[in-house]
Amino acid sequence: MKPGEESRRRRTGAGLIDGLAALAIAPILGGLGCAPATDGAAAAPPSPPTQAGERAPSAESAPDGRMYGFGTAATAADIAAFDIDIGPDGAGLPPGQGSVEEGLAIYEAKCIACHGATGSEGPWDRLAPRLPADEFPFAEDPSARSTVGNYWPYATTLFDYTRRAMPFEFPGSLTDDEVYALVAAMLYMNDLVPADAIMDSAAVTNIVMPARDRFVEDDRAGGPEVR
Amino acid sequence: MDENGRSIPAESDEEHGATTLTRRGLLTGAALAAGAAISARAAKAVGAQAAPDPTKVPGARPQVVGSRSPHETPEKLISGSIGGVTRTPHHELHGILTPADLHFERHHHGIPQIDPASYRLLIHGMVDRPMLFTLDELKRFPQVSRLHFLECSGNGGAAYRVDPPTDISPQAMDGLLSTSEWSGVSLATLFEEVGAHPDATWFLAEGSDAAVMSRSIPMEKAWDDAMIAYGQNGEAIRPEQGYPARLLLPGWEGNASVKWVRRLELSDRPFMFRDETSRYTDPLPDGRARIFSFVMDAKSIITHPTYPTRLEDPGFVEISGYAWTGRGVIERVDVSIDGGATWEAAELQEPVLPKCTTRFRHAWEWDGEPAHLMSRAVDETGYVQPTAAQVRDVRGPGTRYHYNSIRGWRIAADGTIGFAAS
């Protein structure tokens, strides 16, 4: 059964799911190595309205195919107020821009106390420098420190994270232009862009980070083999 | 201390084992201070209440909210993280449930205070009907309640070191593990309610803490057993555990069960957030790194007898601990008293539940000679908890997260106990 099929079945009243049907999800899960819940009841989608007794909604309460009819429709403004995520394809990057020079000035004012003059002195996370691009010694060398330049697969993540979480004491306080500038500065500190670089949505999307192709799907799957 | 337990002054990630975890930190720091405070507190309470013969005086009146005996003072162990780390006192607990106020914590940016009246969960993206749900509305949906463990995937980093400390307790070593009964609404119910698109393959889960913690989760997990939980051990979820509502992904690394969840966005690709790229990925010796390594593999720990307990006399000792696996149920737990040369199957205490801790017990007669205790979990997939050397072989000494290797405890002839890796 495909996700979504159950809702179609349910909306058309084409039968109730049971433990056996839930087990059909197993092959899809196999690829991710996550076992389905072992008892059918736990894996089954929620009790159908017939079992929910008086909570079963009437046809009028959910005219658009909803099962229960609780909750309110989210408006575009409701969504915009929370929708801050940036995708690896650049989706969600706002208008604006910032230069390395502007970014280094903001870094000195707002970041240096926790991340150090060159991004490597701490006391908190090391943002720079990077190792040569063909080096990724982290599994073999416990003393090797990962940084933005040698570990992060996408520069879009740098925009997303800096905007949502930094600076630590004032998260969410930076303007979009400031975030672009800081992204430019952090990439510069990692020798990934020149000193005169300017970051905007296209530039951030187009940066190919050295670790881009390092990440692989989890191949642990239970069973006797240690991975 | 870094991911592998080495002392590096400029380092932030405390979930793998912090410098406060060794004897000095334990005894001179939190524990001593806490101990002094406790005995003062206990003395006061006991002094006020204890009667030489409690059958000869009327007892205390009942209270609207109960409290522990003043003689019992279990405490979480706090690491001085800017984000927040506390560890569960395994050695002071019985059975499998963790009292909610002793549940471990790993926050990335502190505990937010959220007014339940203004709480909303937004579900949008690849859905027919983007919706907002209040807390009361979430509670009107059919409820599910299940017992599950939660474990931080950095739990036990100190055990993976080549030279692990010996004077470390199971709380300090593996305290980022707890078990609760979680109540809430199944995510499948909510995703059907909003009309999830069949081609949505991932969803974003975002918290309303100051980290605005975000993770990408495969849709399969929603159709399997994920829930939005608002209840924990019978009461409302505690603020430290995500009040008023959190995502709960049974069997998966704790970080992905986003607390204080405010938004779910369905998509056809993962989002590549900082906490699923820079963190919570596992470097491998071939220059690659595992990403989205959600499932917690089988693991067991002995919680008694361990450091800092000392066996007083030869005689009966019940070896006891937890075993758990993110892949279903625990099939068997083996216990060794000779450092892994021979193993015997321990007794599994019912209930044995999927993606939940199972209590194991093993009756043992200590003869007063040095011994080397170990436990080894086997899960329903046939996975056998590996030795640290086996894990190092395939993942390298520097890999991060998923430290599930066999833990050992050496008992000396004088009854003192120290940690010993496998």
When pLDDT is cut at 50, 70 and 90, the band that residue B15 belongs to is: low
How confident is the prediction for chain A on average, in pLDDT?
A: 80
Q: Is the ipTM beyond the 0.90 threshold?
A: no
Fold of B77-290: Sulfite Oxidase; Chain A, domain 2 (3.90.420)
Q: Is B288 on the interface with A (CB under 8 A)?
A: yes
A92 pLDDT more than 90: yes
Which of B20-29, B46-55, B71-80, B367-376 has the highest average model confidence (pLDDT)? B367-376
When pLDDT is cut at 50, 70 and 90, the band that residue B16 belongs to is: low
Q: Is B119 on the interface with A (CB under 8 A)?
A: no
- What percent of chain A has pLDDT above 70? 72
Q: What is the dihedral of CA A78, B185, B140, A44, to 10 degrees?
A: 120
Q: Which of A37-41, A92-96, A203-207, B44-48 has the least mean pLDDT?
A: A37-41
Specify whether the CB–CB gap between B84 and B110 falls below 8 A: yes
Hey, what are A100's tokens? 């390395």
Domain holding A179, by residue range, is: 97-214
- Alpha-helix runs per DSSP H in chain A: 5-11, 19-23, 26-30, 40-43, 76-82, 100-110, 112-115, 148-151, 155-165, 176-189, 201-206
- Across the interface, whether the CB atoms of B193 and A70 are under 8 A apart is answered yes
pLDDT at B80: 73
Alpha carbon of residue B399 to chain centroid: 20
Q: Which of B144, B145, B206, B212 to mutate to test the interface with A (most CBs of A within 10 A)?
A: B212
Smallest CA–CA distance from A73 into chain B, residue: B131
Closest by CA to B226, choosing from A42, A118, A216, A39, is A42
Which B-chain residues 21-80 have CB contacts (< 8 A) with chain A? none
Q: Which of A198-202, B33-37, B329-333 has the least mean pLDDT?
A: B33-37
A52 pLDDT more than 70: no
Residue B221: Cβ within 10 Å count: 23
When pLDDT is cut at 50, 70 and 90, the band that residue A56 belongs to is: very low
Residue that is written with structure tokens 């072992």 in the block:
A38
- Across the interface, whether the CB atoms of B140 and A68 are under 8 A apart is answered yes
Report, as an integer, the average pLDDT of A164-179: 97
The residue type found at B101 is D
What lies within 8 Å, CB to CB, of A60 at 6+ separation is none
Q: Is A148 on the interface with B (CB under 8 A)?
A: yes
Which A-chain residues 92-131 have CB contacts (< 8 A) with chain B? 116, 121-126
Give the gyration radius of chain B's Cα atoms. Answer: 22
How confident is the prediction for chain B on average, in pLDDT?
A: 90
Strand B299-304, strand B202-207: pairing = unpaired
Instruction: Give Cα separations from B403 to A189, B7, B107, B324, B369 (angstroms).
Output: 33, 18, 19, 13, 30
Q: Which of A1, A5, A7, A160 to mutate to test the interface with B (most CBs of B within 10 A)?
A: A7
Where, residue-wise, is CATH 3.90.420.10 in chain B? 77-290
Hey, what are B386's tokens? 């590996």
Report, as an integer, the average pLDDT of A84-107: 98
Is B226 exposed, middle or buried, given 0-12, 13-18 or 19+ CB atoms closer than 10 A? Answer: buried
pLDDT at A66: 86
> How far is Cα B150 from Cα B131, in angstroms, rounded to an integer?
29
Q: Name which of A45, A68, A123 is nearest B186 (Cβ-Cβ).
A: A45
Determine the distance in angstroms separating the CA of A122 from the nearest CA of chain B, rounded to an integer: 5
Tell me how long chain A is. Answer: 227
Residue that is written with structure tokens 């010996």 in the block:
B166
> How far is Cα B140 from Cα B397, in angstroms, rounded to an integer?
49
A1 pLDDT more than 50: no
Asked whether residue A73 is assigned to any structural domain, the reply reads no
Q: What is the DSSP letter of B109?
A: S
Which B-chain residues 127-186 have CB contacts (< 8 A) with chain A? 128-134, 137, 140-142, 144, 146, 185-186
Q: What is the longest distance spanned by two Cα atoms in chain A?
A: 67
pLDDT at A79: 97
Q: Which of B19, B225, B286, B329 to mutate to test the interface with A (most CBs of A within 10 A)?
A: B225
Q: What is the dihedral of CA A144, A148, A149, A151, to 10 degrees?
A: 60
Asked whether residue A51 is assigned to any structural domain, the reply reads no
> How far is Cα B264 from Cα B138, in angstroms, rounded to an integer?
14
Q: Is A33 on the interface with B (CB under 8 A)?
A: yes
B320 pLDDT more than 60: yes
Q: Which of A85, A154, A156 to mutate to test the interface with B (most CBs of B within 10 A)?
A: A85
Report, as an integer, the average pLDDT of B21-42: 41
The number of distinct structural domains making up chain A is 1
Where, residue-wise, is CATH 2.60.40.650 in chain B? 299-421
Report, as an integer, the average pLDDT of B389-407: 95
pLDDT at B162: 82
Alpha carbon of residue B382 to chain centroid: 23
Phi, psi of B287 (to 5 degrees): 85, 10
pLDDT digits (tens, 9 = 90+) for B153-200: 999 998 888 888 999 999 999 999 999 999 999 999 999 999 999 999
> How far is Cα B326 from Cα B342, in angstroms, rounded to an integer?
27
Q: What is the DSSP letter of A81?
A: H
Instruction: Give Cα separations from B382 to B192, B333, B341, B392 (angstroms).
Output: 35, 12, 20, 20
Identify the CATH number of the domain defined by range B299-421. Answer: 2.60.40.650
Domain at A150, CATH number: 1.10.760.10
Report, as an integer, the average pLDDT of B330-337: 98
Q: Which long-range contacts (CB under 8 A, 24 or more apart) does B230-237 make?
A: B230/B135, B230/B138, B230/B139, B230/B183, B230/B184, B231/B145, B231/B181, B231/B182, B231/B183, B231/B184, B232/B100, B232/B103, B232/B180, B232/B181, B232/B182, B232/B183, B233/B97, B233/B99, B233/B100, B233/B180, B233/B181, B234/B181, B234/B183, B235/B100
Asked whether residue A171 is assigned to any structural domain, the reply reads yes
pLDDT digits (tens, 9 = 90+) for B45-99: 444 567 789 999 999 999 999 999 999 999 999 987 777 899 999 999 999 999 9
Specify whether the CB–CB gap between B131 and B194 falls below 8 A: yes
A85 chain-B contacts, CB cut-off 8 A: 204, 206, 214, 265, 271, 273
Give the gyration radius of chain A's Cα atoms. Answer: 24
A198 pLDDT more than 50: yes
What lies within 8 Å, CB to CB, of B256 at 6+ separation is B205, B215, B217, B247, B249, B280, B294
Residue A194: Cβ within 10 Å count: 9
The neighbouring-strand residues paired with B206 are B214, B263
Determine the distance in angstroms separating the CA of B44 from the nearest CA of chain A, rounded to an integer: 40
Which of A108-112, B3-7, B42-46 has the highest average model confidence (pLDDT)? A108-112
